[in-house]
Structure formats: structure tokens, C-alpha cells
Amino acid sequence: MARSQGASLVKHTISHVRGELLRRPLACVSIVFLVVLFLACMFAPQVAPHDPQFQDLLNVNKPPSMSHLLGTDNLGRDVLSRLLFGGRVTLLLATEAVIVFILVGIPVGVLSGYFGGRADRIIMWLCDLVLALPGLIILLVVAAVFPSRTALMVSLGFMASPSLVRVARAATLSARARLYVRAAEVMGLSRARVIGRHVLPVVAAPIFVQVTVFIAAAVVIEAAMGFLNLDVKPPAPSWGSMIADGAQVINENGWLIIPSGVAIVVTGIALGLVGDAVREISASRSTGDEDAAGPAVDSATVDTVRPLLEFSQGGDLLGPLDDSALLSVRDLSVTLTRNGRQTRLVDHVSFDIRPGQCLGIVGESGCGKTIMALAVLGLLPSDVAVAHGSITYGGTDLRAASPRQRRALRGREIAFISQEPMRALDPGTTVGGQLKEVVRRTQGVSRKAASEEAARLLAQVQLPNPEQVLRRYPHELRAEWPSEFVSRWRLPGGRGCSLPTSRQLPST
């Protein structure tokens, strides 16, 4: 069933993209052109009408004809054949630069945006440093020191990668703040799983747009290197060397620079149109799907944050820890550090939740209820920290627990249900796929057993036709269903402690 749902998701995505592309004829034409150009260049030995290096001195500078569709150059060589073979060289060299661009830019940008902190600041400083260097001069130095064409294109990809790092980082920061990404963390999924399943699909569109822009730039730069005879050695063709050859005889035959020049320009335009289409399709899919930024407090309102509960110095209304309590919080204080200034968000909070007990904590919006719940889970933002106090669950001091120990509790023993459950669901994955992912992680069962358990959990909350509900996407659920689904999704074992906010009722 999991495979059928995955196939359904792929079909749904392909159908959506195909429908959007059909509404954009320029993008369709651009894709067809790029595919035909790529195939023609890659299979140039099979489709080229002549040997690109064969010289026919009796037919020099001939205009286009049936025997030579794009004419001949000053040595009688067929221009179309040289264009195809030259495109093969240009596109392959540009591909080398693009591969380095992607391999450096995407991992560094995504990891920088996801983890943040000191590593993020160092990475951004290095990106600023690389962007400040004179790229063209460095490429010329590399070409002079290392005669290898690969070294030149690898250098180009590395020098340009900071631009992709910035785009990937910005997109990851936006995705990281989405509630369903944070929900996946609350469930205890590994960071690699969260990034691969929930972050990368969101950041793929802006990254793809940036990659198309760089491909066009790489083609132009490679052509410039060819114009300077820094790529292939004559008489081997490339688009840049063809322009250089045409420039030498421009007074006798101005036509020679047009085929390769048009190929470069049209390729760049086509790549730009495809990138714009992807950006527009991505924007159309995300319209109305923006999520709240999460619990991070805006700097403009930091000074007006009112603590949830206040106790006198050293005061503790509840006394010592209750051994019968499932969750005990004592004298908990949480502070925000920003611009070297600390602001108290939660001040001296203490409470107990016993097995089978419901506890309601009442406060106006923004008073710190969610911050307190995230402190219990160990999921506070990087600039927010627990100043003092203790958090004990089942006799375990959570503040002293390792990140791995806390992650083992999330989704198995402790869960967090947000104010708007719909935003905790990944809109690009079926509800069954999300629920079964949690069941498999928490219970270690097979795919088939996870499917059966997911249906049983939905039946427990009295959702009609659980099998059909599992195949639906979040936007296809009825308005009253998300809260019921999320309650099973966050704590599929049905035991432990859930920490709902707003309209949800706390339970154990």
C-alpha cells in the first residue's frame, strides 16, 4: 500500500506539472528546444552530416545550401557539423561546472539554513569572501596554471556556488519555520529524515531556478573561454572557438558568427523561460499554504512579552517533586537572547501532570504557553534557552538528557499538538504516508503492519472509512478531522503525555 501511495503522489505531481506547463506554451517550446539541442549535440557523431574537421578548400565561405545547411567556414568545413560537435564540448564542460555548483551549493546551503548557529555565520562569511574575489581573473589564472579544461570548469562551479548557498539557505530557513517540519522533529524523526523528506521538496523549486540561471551563465562563460582559446585546441570546435574563427573573417563572411551566437543566446533564453515556469508553478502550489513562523519572538515585541506565571524569589507553590507525577516542571524560566540582551519569556513556572490527568494552563495569546511546551520537548529556537529550573518525565531529568534520549521520547512518550493541526501536516504527502512513517519509527514494524496499525488508529478516533482517509492529502480532509488525525499521528502508541495548545484539550 505504501508503494501505491508513493506512485499516486508521483502521478499527482506529474499531472499537476504537466497541466501547469500546458498553460505556458513558451516554457513547453523551451523544454522541447533544450531536449532536442542536448540530444543532437550528444549524438553528434551519428547526426552530423559531415566530419567537423574535414577541409574542402574548393568550397570556402559558402552560404547555406542543401549540401551544407548552415554553409561552410573559411576552410571549407561544414558549419552545422561543427556547431553540433562544438555544442557537445560546450555543454559537457558547462555540465562539469554545474555539477560542482550543485554538489557544493545545495548541501552547504541546506545544512547552514537548517542548523544555523556559529556554523551558519562562518559559512556566510566564507560566501561573502568568495563573492568578493574577482572571479574572471581567478579563472584566467587557473587556465594559465592548469591547462586542464576540467580544472577551469571546476573552479567556475566553486566560485559561483556561494550564490546557490545563499538561495538554498534562505529557502531552508523558510521551510524550517513551517509547522509540519517542526512537527516531524517533535515526532523524533532524525534530522537527515526531516531534511530529506520535508525540507528538500520545499527548497527544490528555488534551487532549480538558480541552477537554470547558472547553466546559462556557464554556457556563456565557457564560450568566452573558447573565444580566448582556453578550452579546446584547434581544429576541435566549440561554440566559443567558432565565434573566434568567425570574428577573424567577419569582413569576408559575417555569417559565420551567427549560428554559434544564436545557439548561445537561444539556449540562455530557453533556460531562463524554464526557470521562470518552475518558479511560477511552485508559487501557484504554495499560495495559501504559508505557515506561521513558529515560536520565535519578533524583536519588535520582545520587551512587551509578559511572563506566563511569576513567583517570588525562590518561591515554589508546588513544593518538592511529586513521585507519582508523569511530568513535573519546577521553577522553569526561559529567556530570549538577542543583540546581547536577555528577555525573560517564561518566569518560574511549576506544575505536575499525573497519569490520567488533564491540566489546563490559561493565558492570553503570546504569553508563553507554546514556549513552555517546546522547552519541555527540548525544541526551543537557537536564541531561546532554559535559564533555570527542572523538567522531569517519568523520573528522568530531561534537562540533563542527551539529544538522542530526548528524541527517543518524542512521538513515543511526549507529543505536541499545535493550535492549528492542519499546518502540522505536510501538504505534499498523503495522511497515510505521514501516519505510517511515525508508526514504523516508533514501533519498528513492517510496511504492511504499519498500514494496518494506521487504519486501526484512525478507527479509534471514529473517522469514517479509515482506508480512504489514509489515501487522502491534508487539504482533502474535512474541517473537523485534522485534530483527530494529528492526535493519533503525534502519539500513535496512545500512552505518555500530549501537550496541545489553544482549542486542543491536554491529556495523558
Q: What is the pLDDT of residues 316-353, one digit of tens each?
A: 455 566 667 888 888 899 998 877 788 888 888 888 88
Largest CA distance in the chain: 104
pLDDT for 307: 47
pLDDT for 294: 41
What are the cell numbers at 203?
Answer: 527548497
Rounded (10°) angle between helices 200-227 and 239-248: 30
- Give the model's confidence band at 96: pLDDT under 50 very low, under 70 low, under 90 confident, else very high: very high
126-137 residue pLDDT tens: 999 999 988 888
Domain formed by 299-400, architecture: 3-Layer(aba) Sandwich (3.40)
Q: What's the mean pLDDT in 251-268?
A: 90
pLDDT for 408: 78
DSSP state of 323: T
Confidence check: pLDDT of 304 > 60 = no
CB environment 189-212: b (16+ within 10 A), e (fewer): beeeebbebbbbebbebbbebbbb
18-71 residue pLDDT tens: 677 777 888 889 999 999 999 999 999 999 999 888 888 888 888 888 888 898
Domains 13-286 and 299-400 alike in fold: no
pLDDT for 490: 52
pLDDT for 145: 87
Distance between CA atoms of residues 143 and 227, nearest Å: 13
130-161 residue pLDDT tens: 999 888 889 888 888 887 888 889 999 999 99
What is the residue extent of each domain of the chain? 13-286, 299-400, 421-500
- Name the superfamily (CATH) of residues 13-286: MetI-like (1.10.3720.10)
What sections of 116-234 are H helices per DSSP?
Answer: 117-132, 135-145, 149-176, 179-186, 191-194, 200-227
Distance between CA atoms of residues 308 and 304, nearest Å: 12
407-459 residue pLDDT tens: 778 767 787 776 666 666 777 778 778 778 777 877 778 888 888 888 887 77
468-501 residue pLDDT tens: 878 887 777 765 555 555 555 555 555 556 555 5
Q: Note the pTM of the prediction, 2 decimals.
A: 0.64
Q: What's the mean pLDDT in 104-133?
A: 91
Distance between CA atoms of residues 69 and 360, nearest Å: 81
- Higher local confidence (pLDDT), 312 or 389: 389
pLDDT for 478: 63
